[in-house]
Amino acid sequence: MPYYVGILDGAKDAWGIRMPDVPGCHGGGATPEAAIADAISALREFASHQAAKGIALKSPRRVQAVIADKASGFDAAAGESIVMVPLILDRGRPVKANISLDAGLLEAIDDEAVRRGLTRSGFLASAALATIEEDAVMTRRRAQHRAEKAAPKSAQKKRG
């Protein structure tokens, strides 16, 4: 699965993500987490729209290449941070997967799927997507934590 570099900026209740390798594709939300989830959805929709027109997305660059590219406009001093946005394409065709699960876990999955009005497959697919999105959010939080630990105290006060 390809990951595109996103640049997260914002404050308080207005956050945005731009993806230099996917011009015109942005995500936003009231929190950094909401902006990441929106960027994942926007990238999926943008890629589907482009594919329908026969246009392939440019391959994602490495983080270092995006940071070094002046055109990307990345500004760490202004509080921007890098996030990785996974491209999860809808292929439009279901495939069968034979998986092994503990009987108790499968029972719990089936109960929860029924409670939510989903099929087992629908529930497993939505849980997998939620986990992938949460991983993108956690990666951002870990990077932010590392940056805060490395930043001088005066820079930390400016962001707060």
Domains of the chain, earliest start first: 3-159 (3.30.160.250)
Angstrom distance (rounded) from CA 74 to CA 67: 6
Residue 122: pLDDT above 50?
Answer: yes
Tokens (6 digits) for 43? 């990238």
**pLDDT (tens digit per residue) in 96-110:** 889 999 999 999 999
**pLDDT (tens digit per residue) in 15-71:** 999 999 999 999 999 999 899 989 999 999 999 999 989 999 999 999 999 999 999
| Cβ pair 26, 42 in contact under 8 A | yes
Question: How many Cα atoms occupy the beta-carbon half-sphere of 150 within 13 Å?
Answer: 8
Single out the residue of 79, 80, 43 nearest to residue 60, CA to CA: 43
Tokens (6 digits) for 132? 């992938």
Q: What is the pLDDT of residue 85?
A: 93
pTM score above 0.85: no
